[in-house]
Amino acid sequence: MAHACGFELAGVVEALSSPDFARFEEWRAAGFAGEMDYLNDRRGDLRSDPRALLPSARTILCVGKLYQTSQRATAENTGDTRGWISRFAWGRQDYHDVMRERLQRLLAMIRAAHHGPMEAKICVDTAPLLERSYARAAGLGWIGKNTCLIHERQGSWFFLGEILLSIPLLTFDAPPPDRCGTCRRCIDACPTDALVPNGQGEWTLDARLCISYLTIEKRGESPENEPPTGNHLFGCDICQDVCPWNKRAPDTQEDAFQPAVFAPPLEEMAALSEEEFRAKFRGSPVWRAKYEGFLRNVARALGQSKNPDMKKPLERLAKHENAVVARTARKALRALPVIWLALTIITGRCLASDVPVSPGYDHFYNNEFDEALTFFESDLKAHPEDPQMFNHVAQGILYREMLRSGALESQMVSGNNPFLRRPKMEISDKDKQRFAYCFDQAVKISDEMLRKNPNDLEALAALSVAHGLKSNYLFLVEKTWIDSLKEATAARKANERIRELDPKDADAKLVYGLNEYVVGSLPFYMRALGSIGGFHGDRNDGIQQLEIVARHGVRNRYDAQVLLAVIYRRERDPKKAIPLLKELAARFPRNYLFRLEQVQMYSDAGDKKSALAVLAEVDDLRKARKPGYANLTAEKLLYFRGNLLFWYNDLPGALADLQQATQKAGELDLNTEVLAWLRLGQVEDLQGRHTEAIPAYREAIKVAPKSEPAVEARGYLSTPYHRKEKA
């Protein structure tokens, strides 16, 4: 009957007092209920026994209704100009009404089937009933570490509802086993560490730290040290998004839950009048936050956005007639100089008028390093007391050089031992000196700041970045990897101090995560050596830390995404790299590398069609001389296509492209040139023409004798190349 009424889950349990009430008592005694009066006062006490709601109750019929739709988070709908509403509130109609109406239908069916007298009461969410406890006892699922009820096949995206019945039922269901096992993804992913252990070693939720509570239930202004709520406007789904039991969870068939509003533009939301809010959200669960609460959430999201264009709407909200909204917006504005100053480490997006505005990083991420450096140098002139300004210049110099020598391209990471085999980059003396000067100044000024205040977070951040850059420099330019690791360790130490002082800072996990991964990836003997020198690392932990920054970071988010894309490639996990690269390409449209890397990843993932489609898109952008693409040569793209066809065994196609690319080899950067010659030789060999292959290998060796492709080419001079059988 329950299924016929639209419920995917159903079960029955006796209407007795729940043994879990002790858990509830302990939970609220710990203060975890925050200001939710309906849990703290008499209405909370009523949860001790369902017969407080219906004295004649003998049975509880528990049902679950799915609400997940086919809509997913994508690069287009999760940009930094948009807010985010939780899945359970996407529908046009409030789930309470939908559930209630279906439960009424179910009750009518039960009444029709049961002929005698019967009392009943329908409950959905708001009734003082321990819903998850009874649903668990009725066999609807187990209670996960994220505290949600999870069903093995249906996941956890479902609402609960109940009918208390005065009739006894003959059979009762049993709770399923706990299937969380050793997993702790939800705990690690929660950005505010709201999932905490209770006295019995089980996980529970401190609602005061939970974004869902802070955006839905908490009234008035945010507490002084409120955890960051990111772009969440109503509720939070993170601990369910990461749950493996939701990976294959089915979507709802319910029309009323299909998304009406889910990722609204922040600027548009900030401009809503009370009437417009009513028209948009009346009837949706978002209504619960009320106009004041919703706009307060918008103000917070604007303040935590990484986008400079969000300052204007925030300033308008600071003048809002609602005092709570206006004060929240003013608080967010006051915090901006600090947030955006920190942000300049990576994005350079300083917005507040009393700190330097540097569009340099927009150029930086679009690979326009000359333009970026012009901005960074003038910022430095205006703020010579700020260590980060020196870091920006040093970073601009280093990355310009990396692009020039092809080191920004991911061949850098494709070898067996990628972090150690990069040929030295050639860098001019002038750039070398400027880099060294900027590094020294950044360290000197940060040290001075730390002498005055050892807990100065900005100085620690600057120190960490300076050492990180120096580590890269030593590795790529000087190729002194032990010194490079020492610098990486110094970066990590400064970072660990930030993590101690501000454990909630997701961004601080960037350097830590990278260090874990890089050191954890070194060959064993080097790691052993490293441990004498004091470095240690764990690859998986490193990846996990970077994933947290990529998802929840503010200032280091894009760096973490770039690093992860590179790492996923190295870990042979192209499917994970693709969405990241799409997001980066959308965010930094003038950086062709994000698109070319997509080509490679689609190819690695076996999706030749998509790889060729992205490549054609890049070629169109090049031909149209779109910004960022004008300097890309036709030869480079021919190499890319030839390489792709080579791996897909389309040898005539590969040959034509590679011949054309190498005809004007001068148009290729060094990295691509040596690879193009190597591939050309290999294609000839595969077609049984070793005599034609030899000159190509010789060219590869001549162009960059010490590079990995040249070493490989040397091997094929005497023994023609054969494709290895797939393992």
245 is a site residue for ligand SF4 (CB under 6 A): yes
159 binds, among ligand SF4, ligand B12, none (CB under 5 to 8 A by kind): ligand B12
Q: Per the structure block, which two tokens stand in for 365?
A: 């991420």
Residue with the two structure tokens 């918008």: 298
Rounded to a whole number of angstroms, the minimum distance from the CB of residue 144 to ligand SF4 is: 3
What does the DSSP 8-state code read for residue 629?
T
145 is a site residue for ligand SF4 (CB under 6 A): yes
180 binds, among ligand B12, ligand SF4, none (CB under 5 to 8 A by kind): ligand SF4
133 binds, among ligand SF4, ligand B12, none (CB under 5 to 8 A by kind): ligand B12
CA 253 to chain centre: 29
Q: Which stretch binds ligand SF4 (CB under 6 A): 240-248, 427-435, 610-618, 711-719?
A: 240-248
Q: Which residue, 296 or 392, has its beta carbon nearer to ligand B12?
A: 296
Total number of residues that touch ligand SF4 (CB under 6 A): 23
| Helical (H) or strand (E) element with 234 | strand 232-234
Q: Per the structure block, which two tokens stand in for 166?
A: 């005065």
Cβ atoms within 10 Å, residue 629: 19
Rounded to a whole number of angstroms, the minimum distance from the CB of residue 292 to ligand B12 is: 17
Q: Which residue, 23 or 698, has its beta carbon nearer to ligand B12?
A: 23
DSSP H helical ranges for 144-260:
185-189, 211-212, 238-241
Rounded to a whole number of angstroms, the minimum distance from the CB of residue 119 to ligand B12 is: 21
210 is a site residue for ligand SF4 (CB under 6 A): yes
CA-nearest of 718, 707, 709 to 685 is 718
Q: Which stretch binds ligand SF4 (CB under 6 A): 45-53, 54-62, 209-217, 672-680?
A: 209-217
Rounded to a whole number of angstroms, the minimum distance from the CB of residue 466 to ligand B12 is: 40
Q: Which residue, 159 or 588, has its beta carbon nearer to ligand B12?
A: 159
CA-nearest of 222, 218, 232, 261 to 89 is 261
Q: Which residue, 242 or 462, has its beta carbon nearer to ligand SF4?
A: 242
Q: Which residue, 123 or 180, has its beta carbon nearer to ligand SF4?
A: 180
325 is a site residue for ligand SF4 (CB under 6 A): no
* Residues at the site binding ligand B12, with contacts judged by CB under 6 A: 20, 23-24, 27, 36, 39, 86, 88, 124-125, 129-133, 143, 146-149, 156, 158-160, 202, 205, 207, 210, 212-213, 216-217, 235-237, 239
Cβ-contact 57, 120 below 8 angstroms = no
Q: Which residue, 147 or 411, has its beta carbon nearer to ligand B12?
A: 147
Phi (first) and psi of residue 61, to 5 degrees = -95, 115
d(CA 37, CA 60): 26
CA-nearest of 153, 157, 171, 128 to 64 is 157
192 is a site residue for ligand SF4 (CB under 6 A): yes
149 is a site residue for ligand SF4 (CB under 6 A): no
**Interaxial angle between packed helices 634-647 and 592-604, expressed in degrees from 0 to 180 and rounded to the nearest 10:** 10
Indicate the burial class of 596 (C-beta count within 10 angstroms; 0-12, 13-18, 19 or more): buried
Indicate which single residue of 146, 446, 472, 489 sits in contact with ligand SF4 (rule: CB under 6 A): 146
Q: Taken in order 320, 325, 327, 329, is the CA torsion positive or negative?
A: negative
389 is a site residue for ligand SF4 (CB under 6 A): no
242 is a site residue for ligand SF4 (CB under 6 A): yes
Q: Residue 335 to residues 211, 328, 331, 350, 503: CA-CA distances in angstroms?
A: 19, 11, 6, 12, 18
Give the start-end residues of each E strand in 25-126: 59-66, 84-85, 120-123
Residue with the two structure tokens 């965010």: 587
Measured in residues, the chain has a length of 727
238 is a site residue for ligand SF4 (CB under 6 A): yes
Q: Taken in order 163, 169, 172, 173, is the CA torsion positive or negative?
A: negative
Q: Which residue, 230 or 235, has its beta carbon nearer to ligand B12?
A: 235
508 is a site residue for ligand SF4 (CB under 6 A): no
144 is a site residue for ligand SF4 (CB under 6 A): yes
SS3 per-residue string spanning 127-166: CCCCHHHHHHHCCCCEECCCCCEEECCCECCEEEEEEEEC
144 binds, among ligand B12, ligand SF4, none (CB under 5 to 8 A by kind): ligand SF4
Rounded to a whole number of angstroms, the minimum distance from the CB of residue 547 to ligand SF4 is: 14
Rounded to a whole number of angstroms, the minimum distance from the CB of residue 441 to ligand SF4 is: 40
Q: Which residue, 239 or 462, has its beta carbon nearer to ligand SF4?
A: 239
Indicate the burial class of 687 (C-beta count within 10 angstroms; 0-12, 13-18, 19 or more): middle
27 binds, among ligand SF4, ligand B12, none (CB under 5 to 8 A by kind): ligand B12
222 is a site residue for ligand SF4 (CB under 6 A): no
Indicate which single residue of 186, 546, 585, 686 sits in contact with ligand SF4 (rule: CB under 6 A): 186
CB burial readout 295-326, b (16+ within 10 A) else e: bbbbbbbbbbbbbbebbebbeebbebeeebbb
Sheet of 59-66: strand order equals 9-14, 59-66, 158-165, 120-123
Q: Which residue, 38 or 437, has its beta carbon nearer to ligand B12?
A: 38
211 is a site residue for ligand SF4 (CB under 6 A): yes
Q: Per the structure block, which two tokens stand in for 245?
A: 């039991």
Task: Tell me the sheet residues that pair with 61.
Answer: 12, 163
244 is a site residue for ligand SF4 (CB under 6 A): yes
Q: Which residue, 48 or 687, has its beta carbon nearer to ligand B12?
A: 48
Q: Which residue, 32 or 721, has its beta carbon nearer to ligand SF4?
A: 32
Indicate which single residue of 92, 96, 100, 185 sits in contact with ligand SF4 (rule: CB under 6 A): 185
Rounded to a whole number of angstroms, the minimum distance from the CB of residue 184 to ligand SF4 is: 5
160 binds, among ligand SF4, ligand B12, none (CB under 5 to 8 A by kind): ligand B12
Q: Which stretch binds ligand SF4 (CB under 6 A): 204-212, 261-269, 278-286, 574-582?
A: 204-212
Give 400's contacts (C-beta < 8 A, 6+ positions apart): 369, 370, 373
20 binds, among ligand B12, ligand SF4, none (CB under 5 to 8 A by kind): ligand B12
Q: Residue 616 to residues 574, 603, 609, 610, 621: CA-CA distances in angstroms?
A: 20, 14, 11, 10, 9
DSSP H helical ranges for 306-386:
311-317, 323-343, 360-365, 369-382
Rounded to a whole number of angstroms, the minimum distance from the CB of residue 223 to ligand B12 is: 15
| Helical (H) or strand (E) element with 447 | helix 429-452
680 binds, among ligand SF4, ligand B12, none (CB under 5 to 8 A by kind): none
Q: Per the structure block, which two tokens stand in for 698?
A: 């010789």
Q: Which residues are catalytic?
A: 125
Which residue's beta carbon is nearest to the bound ligand B12?
Answer: 235
Contact residues for ligand SF4 (CB under 6 A)? 144-146, 180, 183-186, 190, 192, 194-195, 205, 210-212, 236, 238-239, 242-245
